[in-house]
Structures are given as structure tokens and as C-alpha cells.
Structure 1
Amino acid sequence: MTRVLGAISVLWAVATLTFFAVRLIPGDPAQAILGGPGSQASTEALASVRAEYGLDQPLLAQYVAQLGRLATGDLGRSYALNMDVAPLVMGQLGGTLLLAGLSLALAWLLALALAIWSTRGGRLAAQVGSGLEIVSAALPHFWLATSLIVVFSMWWGVLPPISTSGPAGLVLPVVTLAIPLAGFLGQLMRESLLTALESPFVLSARARGESEHGVRWLHALRHAALPAISLSGWAFGSLISGAVVVETVFARPGLGRTLLNAVTVRDVPVVVGVVMIVAVGYILMTVATDVLSRIIDPRLRLP
């Protein structure tokens, strides 16, 4: 029950913050419905649209009506596209989930490899690994995407500069999202792995004659991965936010690009719909990582 109430609270907070944040953007939503500021809509047409969509009501009344629709699963209709938000968002969801899933998997592989190498290669490897983690975690998605396009598309010509339908079109977007996340996860894994290697259960395993390979892979690494697994829910949200930039740079359809376009034209129902779907995904990912952590570490199952 506590988890259910917590999930409902998160969804309510997300819906509330998104609704009021979009309202603070300069411009008139009624103009978005009629084609944008360049439509030169008449005063009568604007008034008619405001009345039809309830935009002439006080802001609090609009907010309550929005919450009521969301409570019944109704995401409303897009102001700019004049279509239901639910099929619009769900049609873009698959591409973004594929991008985020592949990026998370690659980030885990890179972070795991870097953590193992930096803790086994001596002092120099530890310093180099720490430097790579810090630099990677600090790289902006826009700069990294542009750099990868210049190198792999313009200079070498081995990968397309925009996201095509084939596997090659996914490489640069996935790498762009994975590298900064790998830097963060690598830092966390390396510190956790070093702590685990000095723990009593590792010393006991070595005293029993366990090989160094077995100590690392069967004991230390499992415990070292727990903090990173717990933060994978946060990582999912980070990847979705990064997808706004990546999908725009690589001209890739998805939730991120849809959200950016909706914010630009003040399409409130689409903005709220995208953010709510992302919030639900974040909650589900958090629950999944919690279950996985309990499977890996039986101590977490204790009351």
C-alpha cells in the first residue's frame, strides 16, 4: 500500500509541476490550436477556441479538470495536431524505449569493464580510469553527439549522421546517451568494488582458497553492482531526458523529440501526456530494480 501511495504521489506531483510549468511559457495556447502565432486568427476565433477547450476558465479550474481527465486515463487531444494524445505518445514510445534500453545496456557494459580494469591494473589504471569516468560523466549530450557526427559521419563516413531505420542509425544515438551515464555508473561501481574487496566476506573467501577470479566475479562484483542497480531507475529517467537532445540532433522520432515540439508550440496535453508516460516508466523501472536487488542480495529480503 505504501508503494502504491508513493507512486500516486509521484504521478500527481509530476502532473502538477508540468501543468504549471508549461503555463509559464510565454504565448497563448489558443493560438497553438489555430496553427500558431503566424495563423493571424481573429479575436472571435481565439475566443471560440478558448471556450471550447476550457481555456477561458480560471487556471485552478483548468488544473482540476486536467487532473480529473488524467485520473480516468484520458490524456486529452493535442492542440497543435488535433488528435488524441494517447495514440500519439504510444506511437513514439517504442523508439525511445529501444534507444534508452540499448543505451542503458551499453553504459552498464562500459562501466563494468572500466571498474574491473581500473581496480586490477594497479595505481596507473586506477588514475586513468578515474579520469575517464569524470570526463565521461561531464560530457554534454549535444557536444558529444556533434563530435561523433563529425568524426564518424563527416571524416570517416562509416555511420549515418541521422538516425535511419537500420541498426547503423542507432549506433551514434546509443553511444551518445551511454557514455555520460557510463562515467557516472563507473565511478559508483569502482568505489563499491574497492569497498567490497576489503570486506570481511571477501577476506574469508580468500582464506578458504578461493581464486582471485572467483573472489571478484562470485563475491565482490555482485555486491559492488547493487548501488548501480538501485540507481538504474534514476538512470532511465536521465536517458529519457537526454533523448530530448539526442533525438533532435539525430532527427530520430521518439518521445524526446515529440516533447520538444510540444513545448515549442505550448501543446499542453502532449507535454503532460509525454511526461506522465515517462513518470510511469520511471516508477516501473524503480520497482524492477528493487526486485532485482532483492534477488541478488538475499539480505534485502529480510523484514
Structure 2
Amino acid sequence: SIVYMGSGTPAVHNAIIDGAAFPMNAIGPVSGGGTLYQYKTKLALGSHTYSYTFSDGQGGTVNLPDNGVPLYGPQVYPFNVGNASAGVVPNVALAGKPITFTATFTSPKNIAPTRTEIDIDGVPYTMQRIGGTSYKTGVTYSVSISTLFVGVHYHRYIFDDGSGPATYESTSSPQVTPLLLSSSSVNPTSGTSSTVYTFQTTYTDVNGEAPAQSLLYVDNKSYPMHLVSGAYNTGAVFQVKMTLPTGKHSFFFVFQDSLTSWADPFNPKVYAGPNVGANAQPVQPGTTIDNGEDPETLANMN
């Protein structure tokens, strides 16, 4: 599918699939202007490429992509691998802690896979069957890795049922970090200007290192936090208590050790709340908004 923005009917309106041109059909106008063109077909097994060529017949020709290099896809296989992007738990993990990768293999012909591989940063790992009995309805494969280095990781799934390998790229990028903030909250999430609000987060550092910086930001103003319980290597709870003026507030946390820093949530997000006023409404715990977004607008949407 593509939207043609020219006037009238183009003299050439082709989809180029694997180097062959196919005329596209005009479907109709779209909101915002232009005409939607589509071409429908069945493709042979394997990987394919495509591009588009349109011409008004008066010397004006447009190719997409304009660099002449066709787009990659679709990939056509006699089976499917699902969860290629969602099957990563957790998506952020402490160094040395396991990350589990999961994918579901489905074969309409009920053929078992001969290859169940995940490549992480170019290193192959064999995934093991953990659930499901019918390949028609889906069999789940998984592998857990706890040796990934600190940083962001790329991965893809490669499966084969004997007809040839299929590669499924993932849009998820699991991250391994030496420190982590979790279970962040404010309690209560609404009240009056005399209410004492408790802001809390749990700091974990794989090296058991105390934070060099432990800050809460409320409405972009920083407040130092204090350790109340726990150990740094297993989870240390930090808190700060305060009253707040009437209005809609937001908050986030920034901690730092000798090597790196961590925020919760990540910029540009902040947590919404608390709402302060005589008739202030509570905020759903964990609600995030963009930093600088008016919490009043969020409240009016709820």
C-alpha cells in the first residue's frame, strides 16, 4: 500500500516485487489528502523485496525508496514464530540475573522445528521446548541467560522446519545494568496540603555499593532520599516524606553509584501524582506522563 499525492491518475503506478513490476489498484481518497493504491498477491516461500514507481506521464517519476535500494520483506515461510519482540522478561535486568527469552512456533502442517535458535549479539543459543503439544496451535520455546554483559543487547530468532531457516528480527532490546530502581511510589496519591506524602523507591546495586547520589525530584525540584531498610545488593528501600502545596504534581528518581546512574522512570517520562487539594482525586499508581505535560490535562482525561 502507498498513498499517491499527485493530481489526477498516474500513468505508472507499480509495485516492484523481487524486481518485477505489478500495476497497483486505486482504492480511494484518504484523510489528509492523496489516493491510496494497493496491490495484493501471494508470494513464494522465502525472503522478498519491494519498492514503488509512480509517474504522471509528463516526465515526472518518483521511486520509493528514492535511493534505488528496495525495501526488505516480507518473509514467507510455512511456519510462524510469535513473541519475537514481546518474549523478553525482564526487559531490564541487573548484571548476573537471568533474562528469559521466549518464542512460540506454529506450523499449519503440524511439523516440528529442526532448529530453535536465538542469536544474542551474534552468539547462538538453542531454545528448549517448555509448553504446548500441538505445533498447529503453537509450541513454546525458551532459554534463560544470566551471563550478558552490562549494556543494551540485540537478538533475533532463527527457526527451521526442514524447509529452510527463517529469521525473525526483534524490536526489543533487553538492557543489563549494574544498578536498578524498582517499586517506585508515592503514598497516598492524593490528599490535602497538610497530608504527609511518602516517596519511596528500591535501589539495588550488584556490587553492594551505596549510592553516591539518591535524589527524588518533585516538579523538577530535587530532594535527597534516606535509606530506611534493606541491603544494597539485594534491595535497599529509600524514602523521603514531605507536604506539598495544592495542585497536580509529578515526580521521578535519579540514583548514581561510582560507575553509572539510573533514573525511574526514564526521561522524558515522570510519574504522575500526588494530586493535592480539598477534593483531589487519587492517581493510579505507576501512571506516567511526559515531563512538562500538564497533570491537569491528565486528570481531565481520567
Q: TM-score, normalised by structure 2?
A: 0.28
Which structure would you say has the larger RCO, counting Cα contacts within 8 Å and 6 or more residues apart? 1
Structure number with the higher helix fraction is 1
Which is greater in Rg? 2
Structure number with the higher strand fraction is 2
